[in-house]
Amino acid sequence: MRVALLGGTGDIGEGLALRWARETDHEIVVGSRKAEKAADKAAEYEAELADRGLDREVAGLPNEAAAKGADLVVLSVPPQYAADTVEGIAEALAEDAILVSPAVGMTRDEDGFHYNPPPNADSVTEYVAEAAPDRVSVVGAFHNISANRLADLDEDLDADILVLGGEKDEDAKETVRDLTRAIPGLRPVDAGPLSNAHEVEGITPLLINIAMHNDDMSHVGVTFH
């Protein structure tokens, strides 16, 4: 499987690229708006994996080239660029590609972070689904995992990943669940259709607030049981 991480030069994309490169045999492609940044980051990830004795190829390409032929594309971009990024790669996307949306809109004031969905949408995930071509499956996932913890390969993870998607995209959800299980310490939990994304995305600012207000908690994750 070819997995493209758009915005894979930072945030959640960095951790997913490194972890999937280490834990799976999938082809890993890092995408960025800038070709040079993508290539630099891909080389950096290869070097980090080589340091750990892992001879692993990671490609770095501009977003559209990264998405071309990918079976699964993760949109690890700031929420305000999510729709534009989808439109920019729409033609390059394979017929049955899976588009994964992990982005969350937030604002910050003196009280802390607050959930802030895009204008005229209830969640970023639904906003991405609206912008995506009908032929692809849109799945929401990885909204609530700490980017710092994920990108630190020495860190043991213990978190649930809420996976969102409609019934018609059940196969795509299962692929995302499989990729989640491939990373030790992550467990996929089905959160139902995309219309539940509001409540899932809202957990992300809450996790930051919890880290701010509790001395012994940082880079907090969430589990359900």
Q: Which of 162, 176, 160 is nearest to 220 (CA)?
A: 160
* Under rule CB under 8 A, residue 195 binds a copy of itself: yes
Closer CB to a copy of itself, 6 or 147, in the complex:
147
CA atoms within 13 A on the CB side of 9: 19
Residues 50-89 that bind a copy of itself (CB under 8 A): none
Indicate the residue type of 71: D
Give the total of residues touching a copy of itself (CB under 8 A).
Answer: 34
User: Would you give the distance in Å from CA 1 to the centre of its chain?
Assistant: 17
* 60: number of Cβ within 10 Å: 26
Q: Which of 124, 47, 138 is nearest to 90 (CA)?
A: 138
* 214: number of Cβ within 10 Å: 10
Residue of 51, 111, 154, 156 that binds a copy of itself (CB under 8 A): 111
Cβ-proximal residues to 91 (8 Å cutoff; 6+ apart), any chain? none
Stretch of 32-40, 42-50, 62-70, 184-192 lying at the interface with a copy of itself (CB under 8 A):
184-192
H helix runs in 24-62, sequence order: 35-51
Residue of 10, 88, 112, 133 that binds a copy of itself (CB under 8 A): 112
* Under rule CB under 8 A, residue 148 binds a copy of itself: no
Length of the chain: 225
* Under rule CB under 8 A, residue 8 binds a copy of itself: no
* Under rule CB under 8 A, residue 198 binds a copy of itself: yes
What's the min distance (Å) between Cβ of 195 and a copy of itself? Answer: 4
Query: Token pair 């995930």 is at which residue?
Result: 125
Stretch of 49-57, 60-68, 85-93, 200-208 lying at the interface with a copy of itself (CB under 8 A):
200-208
Note the residues at the interface with a copy of itself (CB under 8 A): 109, 111-112, 114-115, 158, 162, 189-193, 195-196, 198-200, 202-203, 205-207, 209-210, 212-214, 217, 220-225
